[in-house]
Amino acid sequence: MALMGANARVYVPYPGPGYAEQPYGLFSVVTPRDLPRHADDYGLEYQSPYCAPLPSSYAVSCTPASKSSALTGSYTTVTGDPFVVLAGMECGAMTSAGNGQSPDEYTREFVIAKLKGFEQRLVESVFSRGLSGQAPGLSTTAGVVTVPTPTTDNLVNAIQALEGAYAAAFGLPGVIHVPAKAVGQLAAGRMLDKVNGVWETALGSKVSIGNYQGYGPTDVAPADAAHRWIYMTGPVTIWRQPDSDIFVSPWAASIDKTSNQTHRFAERTYIVTYECVSFAVLANIEACC
């Protein structure tokens, strides 16, 4: 970064809305909530009453001799392991930021803006493959059920197959995770409606379209450019440190006096979980229907 104010150009503040205007993605479907204290070190867990086995039934006119056969299963503990999103900068030493701010204030705002501008897409990528210690990840968590690929493996048929398998195993609306590369074919298939800013199927499944890598169960890379794995999970929850807890490296420690460079970074911790079930299907994302 050149010394601001050292040439004839007039310095103006960043003109756009910046990170305040986020693209559609996982954060559109799931609003992040504040990370509980100490969860950034140890992760978290909670209990869900919605996992298998499903409830049973009997005829009113024929009460079973014993209901003990239906008293199976228990609560399921959902766990989440943390990971850290990091954004940094390298800059020549500044004596003035050119806008009345000190170099400390300017570089602090800069790395926080960079973090907030990119973190959604990074979180999607990390979650899709369980990277950086994140768990449960889509392609790296045991127990993912592979749905047979439809004979005609386009997006419409693949999502229908996912929803059919999911509906037989879980009672609450789920989340379908689709790589951004498929967005054109999703639009062409006309199978989604936008409800309160969130794309949904006719069954009410929420559709997250983002930076998913499309790897298969056991983290196997797609065989070709046309095919990606699409996942459907139980409800997703995102926790992250609030803005007030974003860590920014101290100004004094960010200056490398030997090279006369400023190295500054911002980071915050995330946990992403999903409940109970996960289904995956291989789809041709270059064909809608």
CA 117/CA 46 separation, integer angstroms: 30
Question: What's residue 90's pLDDT?
Answer: 85
**Domain check: are 244 and 123 in the same one?**
yes
> Which structural domain range is residue 265 located in?
27-49+76-133+239-273
What is the chain's mean pLDDT, rounded?
Answer: 90
Higher pLDDT, 31 or 63: 31
**Domain check: are 39 and 128 in the same one?**
yes
**Cα–Cα distances in angstroms (integers) from residue 162 to residues 107, 173, 190, 264, in the given order:** 46, 12, 17, 44
pLDDT digits (tens, 9 = 90+) for 12-25: 888 889 999 999 99
pLDDT at 55 exceeding the cut of 50: yes
Tally of domains in the chain: 2
Rounded to two decimals, the pTM is 0.91
**Domain check: are 111 and 163 in the same one?**
no
Question: What's residue 97's pLDDT?
Answer: 60
**Domain check: are 129 and 215 in the same one?**
no
**Domain check: are 160 and 258 in the same one?**
no
pLDDT digits (tens, 9 = 90+) for 118-172: 999 999 999 999 999 999 999 999 999 999 999 999 999 999 999 999 999 999 9
pLDDT at 3 exceeding the cut of 60: no
CA 236/CA 225 separation, integer angstroms: 28
pLDDT digits (tens, 9 = 90+) for 158-208: 999 999 999 999 999 999 999 999 999 998 888 899 999 999 999 999 999
**Domain check: are 207 and 167 in the same one?**
yes
- Tell whether 222 is covered by a domain: yes
**Domain check: are 104 and 151 in the same one?**
no
What is the mean predicted confidence (pLDDT) over 229-256? Answer: 94
Higher pLDDT, 260 or 50: 50
- Tell whether 178 is covered by a domain: yes
**Domain check: are 86 and 220 in the same one?**
no
- Tell whether 159 is covered by a domain: yes
CATH number (domain holding residue 161): 3.30.2320
**Cα–Cα distances in angstroms (integers) from residue 120 to residues 89, 233, 264, in the given order:** 19, 19, 21
Question: What's residue 1's pLDDT?
Answer: 47
Q: What are the φ/ψ torsions at residue 6 (nearest 5 degrees)?
A: -95, 0
